[in-house]
Amino acid sequence: MIKKKVLIVDDFENTRWIVQQILQKEEELELMTAGNGKEALQFFNGETIDLLITDLNMPEMDGIELVQKVRASDKYRFIPIIMLTTERNPEKKQKALDIKVTTWIQKPFEQGTFRKIVRKALRLK
């Protein structure tokens, strides 16, 4: 079985760990992590990435800049992107949607709903 590659980007290690714990039950997924947008960009080197899950507010490179760079690449232009954030500012949410973030999820989130959103983004049954 070919696994779908999911990149989880968040500056809080605990958040990355929680997301991994939720998604590791999904056998179809291969999970990778990065601590900020700059680290995450190293994964976008021609390798297949099927889904990006990113925080918004991070040091070095925030989620908006990361999404803009990913969307600027021909290879990754259309991958689904989930913005997983504590941010409540409606203008920042609109900016994320304007740059084609697929889904905005506010922390804290319900695990079952989160798994369903991830499966839908990856077109898994």
CATH of the domain at 46: 3.40.50.2300
Q: What's the CA angle centered on 77, arms 36 and 34, to 5 degrees?
A: 15
pLDDT of residue 1: 78
The count of other CB atoms within 10 Å of the CB of residue 79 is: 20
For 30-85, how does the pLDDT look when each residue is reduced to its tens digit (9 = 90+)? 999 999 999 999 999 988 999 999 999 999 999 999 999 999 999 999 999 999 99
pLDDT of residue 30: 97
Interval 91-108 mean pLDDT: 94
Decide the pairing of beta strands 51-54 and 29-34: unpaired
Residue that is written with structure tokens 């297949």 in the block:
48
Could you tell me where the DSSP H helices lie in the chain? 13-23, 37-41, 63-71, 90-98, 111-121
Token code pair at residue 62: 């925030």
Q: What is the residue range of 90's domain?
A: 4-121
Q: How many domains does the chain have?
A: 1
